[in-house]
Structure 1
Amino acid sequence: MKGLYTLIAATLLSTGCSIFIVGSGTDLNTFETREQVHNSFGRPTVSGDGEQPFDEFRTHRKLTEQEKIIYRVMEFCITLGLSEVVTTPVELYSAAKQCIEGRTVRFSYGPDGQVIGVLVDGQQPILSRHPRPPRPVESGGTGPVVPASGGQSPNAATP
């Protein structure tokens, strides 16, 4: 019976930990340039300098999972913290698996060496807390088409 009380106490004291586990690790949103990526990840396992330059890395470090944070916060609030009994061990397992198996991270760069895209294991994670502003299009280039009617599509119904 004493062991049960210890387990309950340990569980209640660990509430909120899954949110910190999901939010910990290397935040891929912080990398702006190719030089910063190389300083952090080292030499790429695969690199390409063709039409769209890229570097691919195999890493065993924990990566921040921005897309999961909001779900863990909602679960915590809705269940008044009781979801932590399940989510903390799940996130500990996920973090350990990520570190043991490793992940493939691919950074794509623009012509100026700025990071323009990131793929983790072939999927695009939710990264941007602060979206980067669009880059100006050089003269003669093609840019996004903006309708002349104040931002509305010419096919939009008018009231």
Structure 2
Amino acid sequence: MDDTAPGTAAPSPETADGTPLSEADVHVTTAQPDESRAQIRVAGELTEDSRRPLIRAMTDLMLNSPGLERVELELCDVTFMNSAGMSILVQLERMAEPRGIQVPLVLDSGTVARPLQVSGLWRRFTIIDRREGSPPTTHEGMNPGTDHR
């Protein structure tokens, strides 16, 4: 249901910190609570334009943290994902795999979940599913999620 008044525009999507996003923007940030864990947060559209900043973020984390064991891809603020976006997720996982780095996907809506399910890629990734109605054990951040391999 739309909560906007007739004749007014819907509020533009924004990142978790309240920064507004235009439709074609992508915003990538990283966090590293310790040497073995990190998070890459993506906000906006996960399309071909996202490839370079995401690959750069993963490369920087891998080069600067030799003890890295897990990089969570936080996709809760993704507003759109196409096949190029799915390809980027596979590429990030392939980059990490030879070093034994786990790359779970964190999501809370169908924006990312549905394309992954329809394409069959859902089974390729470890998913931390924070959607309403998902099993409580998958809500734990930085803990293993549901393995769909």
Q: Give TM-score scaled by structure 2 length.
A: 0.26
RCO higher in structure (CA 8 A, sep ≥6): 1
Greater percentage in helix = 1
Which entry has the higher C-alpha Rg, 1 or 2?
1
Q: Give TM-score scaled by structure 1 length.
A: 0.25
Greater percentage in strand = 2
